Amino acid sequence: MTKAEIVTEIANKTGIEKVAVQAVVESFMETVKGTMTSGENVYLRGFGSFIIKKRAEKTGRNISKNTTIIIPAHNIPAFKPAKTFVNEVKGHVK
């Protein structure tokens, strides 16, 4: 499902104009990105958490040049679904 499809679905279910729904969805995403960029996690009860995972420094290999490189420690964004979310998805096997 794309962002446009999400906007359409919410607009159809709520009766709110697509333009307003689009603004809310965009604002939500910007807020989540901004919060995570500042180093904080975002918790949505019953849905899941947008968390920051820390990756340790490690040694990697450039196989085309046959050399080793150091990959510095860094943070990556991740999503951890709530248990209720996971159980609902598990229950709907096709």
pLDDT at 75: 95
Confidence band for 67, pLDDT divided at 50, 70 and 90: very high
Answer yes or no: is pLDDT of 93 > 80.
no
Pick the CATH number of 41-94 from 1.10.3720.10, 4.10.520.10, 3.40.50.720, 2.40.50.100: 4.10.520.10
What is the C-alpha separation between 75 and 56, in angstroms, rounded?
Answer: 9
Whole-structure pTM value: 0.77
Of 54, 71, 49, the C-alpha closest to 62 is 71
Taking the CA of residue 76 as centre, how many other CA atoms within 13 Å lie in the half-sphere pointing to its CB? Answer: 8
Inter-residue contact 32 to 42 (CB < 8 Å): yes
Domain ranges across the chain: 1-40, 41-94
Is residue 70's pLDDT more than 70? yes
pLDDT average, residue stretch 81-91: 92
- Confidence at 91, pLDDT banded by 50, 70, 90: confident
Average pLDDT of the residues in 45-60: 95
